[in-house]
Chain A
């Protein structure tokens, strides 16, 4: 895709002949053939890349002022908020950026599910994506511990205690994680180190994710194969560069709305109270983006069972390309799947709602039903649908669904124009 690229400047030529880096970047950003019918759900890849870079850049400057020590961490965060020039802005961008990162990634994943982007030949893109999601979860969780407020401390306590559910070695593993007999300074320091490291691992995986994407090319709302370089594709630049930028601007407006008007809306007030190992807050909740998984954890009346189920809820995503037995990708042509996938989205959001409630009475029962449905979607509904669903006929090209009846007749009559 990049064989024609010649840098204009003499320095560029000199460089590119020795290391064709410009060639590589140019090929992936400029002429890369993209299906012409991508809708705005396809702009989230670019938005997510922006989120990752924003988190890395703001995180880098926060790390210049933050102190990872149980006695100093909370005060250093307040120091950032009150003393450091624009510290409040940088921290609010970083904290809200994490939330918006997850909002974007959930939309990105939902898009992939709706349009069957994870299916052959794009399984590996999806699996790399699941690993990125896993790393994001770990990074976000560890990041939330760093301010060393009450939620940080007790969140860290609850989540690290999950490992104590492992039979026999559970206690040794938790003591190893803590570097002590309870959550404290050693844990905080190692979480800070890992929180700093993981975004760079995510960045590396993102490169693989895009590389793997650019082999078969993008899926599209019709879910049909597109011949590269045919009338069904357009060059990435300027068509999708401009579309992605426009979507990014809209996203940034929402982002700025959170940062400047409701910076603490998605946080928890208890985290402005310094960690106290002698008192647990009345109601412990994780960040909103973990709530569905938290609800699954609590749905099981067994310590080990809950942990296994919660981990499975994420791990099962990696097997999605094989659990879905249908050959048709897009939900547009799968009348039954279209209803079930919406039901799945609604159920996941419902789980998120339940995760924020007290795990008791009706909430617990509904949590169990929703948990069963979550897994049934993957291991019962999806495998069966491939066999029993009568799919709609697929279009032959991306143009066909938008052509008028007359235009179709002209093509059908074999007229060559």
Chain B
């Protein structure tokens, strides 16, 4: 501690400065927050999808929050292929059961975890997805197997409202 006594002036100086800084910060926040997703965007934050038209081996892509979501009705071969993989072989180890609530339905965000391109379906060395931008290979569970992408394709929050309908988000 210094020997100088705390004067009335020190006190006023510091409290004024603190209040000014707090006031300025609270004033800056609206200018920053206005760029965040607004109420009209948040209102569209969930999407319901009817699964009935999709046959085994078919995929559809739906738009959710402006992003493509792949919904694939997997064939029994694809499911067994996905389940047979040893977790040791995976760069981002994750069990297939943890990725598909119902093994028949694979729902994931169709954006390559590398730099945001959309991977092509049923392509690549693992019969899953292949990103044409920088050559990332995903397997039938959407897990990264080879290439520059750091992680598996993201699984969005979704629930089965009934056997034929899911709600994403």
Binding site for B on A (CB under 8 A): 57, 61, 64-65, 79, 82-87, 89-90
Contact = CB atoms under 8 A, between A and B. Distances in A.
B36 A85 contact: yes
B27 to A, nearest CB: 10
A57 B30 CA distance: 12
A84 B31 CA distance: 11
Interface of B: 29-31, 33-36, 38-41
A57 B31 contact: yes
The 5 closest A-B pairs by CB, nearest first: A86-B30, A83-B39, A83-B40, A85-B33, A83-B38
Contacts of B35: 61, 64
Contacts of A90: 30-31, 34
Given A79-B40, A82-B39, A87 B31 contact: no
Contacts of B30: 85-86, 89-90
A84 B35 CA distance: 8
Contacts of A57: 31
A65 B39 CA distance: 13
A61 B34 contact: yes
A83 B33 CA distance: 12
Nearest to B43: A83
Contacts of B33: 85-86
A65 B41 CA distance: 13
Interface on chain B toward A: helix, strand, loop, or mixed SS? Answer: helix
A64 B40 contact: no
Contacts of B34: 61, 64-65, 84-87, 90
A256 B103 CA distance: 58
Contacts of A87: 34, 38
A257 to B, nearest CB: 16
- Please indicate which of the listed interface residues B34, B35, B38, B41 has the most CB atoms of chain A within 10 Å of its own CB: B34
Contacts of B36: 85
Nearest to A245: B20
Nearest to B40: A83
Contacts of B39: 82-85
Nearest to A93: B30
A249 to B, nearest CB: 10
Contacts of A84: 34, 38-39
A85 B29 CA distance: 10
A209 to B, nearest CB: 27
A90 B40 CA distance: 17
A126 to B, nearest CB: 34
Nearest to A84: B38
Given A86-B33, A90-B31, 9 more contacts: A57-B31, A61-B31, A61-B35, A65-B34, A65-B38, A79-B38, A84-B39, A85-B30, A86-B29
A41 B41 CA distance: 47
B100 to A, nearest CB: 36
A83 B40 CA distance: 6
A403 B36 CA distance: 61
A86 B29 CA distance: 9
Nearest to B30: A86
A86 B38 CA distance: 9
A82 B38 CA distance: 9
11 contacts: A57-B31, A61-B34, A61-B35, A65-B38, A79-B38, A79-B40, A85-B30, A85-B34, A86-B30, A89-B30, A90-B30
A357 B35 CA distance: 42
A93 B41 CA distance: 24
B31 A85 contact: no
Contacts of B31: 57, 61, 86, 90
A64 B41 CA distance: 15
A143 to B, nearest CB: 18
Contacts of A64: 34-35
